[in-house]
């Protein structure tokens, strides 16, 4: 009888210990989840899922920012659904309006505020250089957009706002999509679309971060071992990108007096060692776990060749100097997105090109039109 009571007592103690341990684990998880949400709010402007930040626009069929949104004082969406300040509609007479087309690398969710996005910095610099010209801008970029989405965006949401200068910075999402299609053909993945995260990852920022980091670490290990790497002929890629970019440029030329295309800058560089390239390619490896950093670098170099060719063939302004932004963590938050420092240098390269072409000089008093 005593032995039986001892066994029951030990079983009860074990159950209490297990329950207490479970409670502690849950509390630690909730504490960590809270900390991650606070960190994301501070760093990115909101502790929310993509679905909370954007909505589907029935007119264009595009995913667009929620009108009038404010995220922790860092990201402001105006009443027209564009990141940045309000715009006069219709446009005030004599105003030169800049429109920036692109995806997350133009939206600039990683910088510390609206006034640190490179479209805002470009406009501010041009205002200082041409004080007699009335300037405003719209950051028409939306994370996730491809060139085709930007064309639809231009046609339905931007054209009516009468842009005078259109600046196009595209490439990352088109390249990722093309690489995933190649990986599907080579049997490296089962679906060209990005697979949906687990239920827990969709509802927990902490677990979502854990899953993403595990995926990246696994991809980096595979890259070190050269396991399951995508085979790419750089000369054979970018054909659809070229066609789509040409269509976008030609459409922009019909809407604006000046159109410029910008070559795409990334953190990984050919002169980095293998480990540096792996670190710099981390976010790209999340979406393309089958690609080696050197292949990624070559693919972006090919896309930049396409951008240069399209600029030449269509007669629009090419903004190059792609390596004027150093490939390091000071200037890049990840593989392609800018920090405040990177955004500033991006703005400088755009302003240099616009000033060199004296695009706005003719609008100063005493200048001919």
160-218 confidence digits (pLDDT tens): 999 999 999 999 999 999 999 999 999 998 876 765 555 554 445 554 555 555 555 55
Which residues, including other chains, have CB under 8 Å from residue 200's CB and lie 6 or more apart? Answer: 207
Q: Are residues 14 and 59 in the same domain?
A: no
Which residues, including other chains, have CB under 8 Å from residue 132's CB and lie 6 or more apart? Answer: 363, 364, 365
Q: Are residues 40 and 187 in the same domain?
A: no
The pLDDT, as a whole number, for residue 360 is 75
Number of domains in the chain: 2
Q: Are residues 4 and 77 in the same domain?
A: no
Cβ pair 169, 180 in contact under 8 A: no
Written as one string, the DSSP assignment of 273-327 is -HHHHHHHTHHHHHH-TT--HHHHHHHHHHHHHHHHHHHHHHTPEEE--GGGS-S
Residue 23 has pLDDT above 90, yes or no: no
Flag whether 197 is in a domain.
Answer: yes
Q: Are residues 127 and 13 in the same domain?
A: no
List the Cα angle 250/251/253 in 5-degree steps.
Answer: 65
Residue with tokens 């053909």: 185
Flag whether 162 is in a domain.
Answer: yes
The pLDDT, as a whole number, for residue 214 is 52
Flag whether 14 is in a domain.
Answer: yes
Q: Are residues 222 and 77 in the same domain?
A: yes
Flag whether 368 is in a domain.
Answer: no
Q: Are residues 4 and 94 in the same domain?
A: no
The pLDDT, as a whole number, for residue 229 is 82
Tokens read off for 100: 């920036």
Taking residues 318-322, report their average pLDDT. Answer: 96
Q: What is the tens place of the pLDDT at every residue in 108-155?
A: 999 999 999 999 999 999 999 999 999 999 999 999 999 999 999 999
Cβ pair 256, 166 in contact under 8 A: yes
Query: CB neighbours (10 Å) of residue 223?
Result: 24
Flag whether 369 is in a domain.
Answer: no
We report the CATH number of the domain holding residue 184 as: 3.40.50.1110
Q: Are residues 240 and 187 in the same domain?
A: yes
The pLDDT, as a whole number, for residue 267 is 98
The residue segments making up the domain with residue 354 are: 50-363
Residue 1 has pLDDT above 70, yes or no: no
Tokens read off for 169: 């910075």
Cβ pair 153, 60 in contact under 8 A: yes
Q: How does 196-219 read in b/e, with b if 16+ C-beta sit within 10 Å? A: eeeeebeebbbbbbebeeebbeeb
Q: Are residues 19 and 71 in the same domain?
A: no
Q: Are residues 101 and 184 in the same domain?
A: yes
**Percentage of the residues of the chain whose pLDDT score is greater than 90:** 67
The rounded distance, in Å, linking the Cα atoms of 117 and 90 is 25
Q: Are residues 334 and 272 in the same domain?
A: yes
pLDDT-derived band at 252 (thresholds 50, 70, 90) equals: very high
Q: What is the tens place of the pLDDT at every residue in 219-236?
A: 555 556 666 689 999 999
Residue 45 has pLDDT above 70, yes or no: no
Q: Are residues 264 and 350 in the same domain?
A: yes
Residue 50 has pLDDT above 70, yes or no: no
pLDDT-derived band at 41 (thresholds 50, 70, 90) equals: low
Cβ pair 136, 237 in contact under 8 A: no
CA atoms within 13 A on the CB side of 194: 15
More confident residue, 283 or 369: 283
Flag whether 345 is in a domain.
Answer: yes
Q: Are residues 106 and 22 in the same domain?
A: no
More confident residue, 209 or 295: 295
């Amino acid at each position: 009888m005593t032995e039986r009571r001892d066994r029951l007592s030990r079983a009860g103690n074990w159950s209490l210990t297990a329950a207490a341990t479970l409670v502690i684990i849950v509390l630690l998880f909730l504490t960590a989840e809270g900390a991650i949400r606070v960190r994301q709010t501070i760093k990115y402007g909101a502790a929310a899922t993509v679905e909370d930040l954007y909505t589907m626009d029935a007119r264009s069929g595009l995913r667009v920012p929620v009108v009038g949104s404010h995220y922790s004082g860092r990201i402001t969406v105006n009443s027209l659904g564009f990141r940045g300040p309000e715009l006069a509609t219709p446009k005030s007479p004599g105003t030169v309006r800049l429109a920036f087309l692109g995806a997350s690398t133009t939206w600039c969710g990683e910088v510390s505020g609206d006034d640190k996005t490179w479209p805002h910095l470009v406009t501010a610099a041009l205002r200082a250089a041409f004080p007699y010209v009335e300037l405003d801008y719209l950051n028409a970029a939306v994370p996730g957009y491809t060139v085709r989405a930007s064309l639809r965006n231009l046609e339905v949401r931007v054209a009516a706002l009468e842009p005078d200068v259109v600046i196009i910075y595209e490439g990352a999402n088109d390249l990722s999509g093309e690489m995933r299609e190649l990986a599907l053909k080579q049997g490296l993945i089962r679906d060209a679309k990005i697979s949906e995260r687990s239920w827990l990852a969709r509802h927990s920022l902490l677990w979502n971060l854990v899953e993403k980091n595990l995926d990246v670490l696994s991809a980096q290990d595979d890259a070190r071992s050269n396991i399951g790497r995508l085979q790419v002929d750089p000369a054979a890629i970018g054909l659809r990108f070229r066609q789509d970019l040409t269509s976008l440029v030609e459409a922009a030329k019909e809407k604006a007096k000046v159109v410029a295309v910008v070559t795409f800058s990334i953190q990984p560089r050919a002169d980095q060692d293998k480990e540096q390239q792996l670190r710099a390619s981390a976010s790209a490896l999340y979406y393309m776990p089958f690609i080696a950093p050197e292949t990624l670098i070559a693919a972006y170099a090919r896309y930049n060749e396409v951008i240069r060719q399209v600029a030449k063939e269509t007669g629009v302004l090419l903004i190059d100097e792609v390596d004027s932004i150093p490939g390091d963590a000071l200037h890049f938050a990840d593989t392609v997105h800018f920090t405040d420092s990177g955004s500033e240098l991006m703005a400088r390269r755009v302003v240099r090109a616009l000033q060199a072409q004296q695009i706005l000089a003719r609008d100063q008093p005493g200048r001919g039109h």
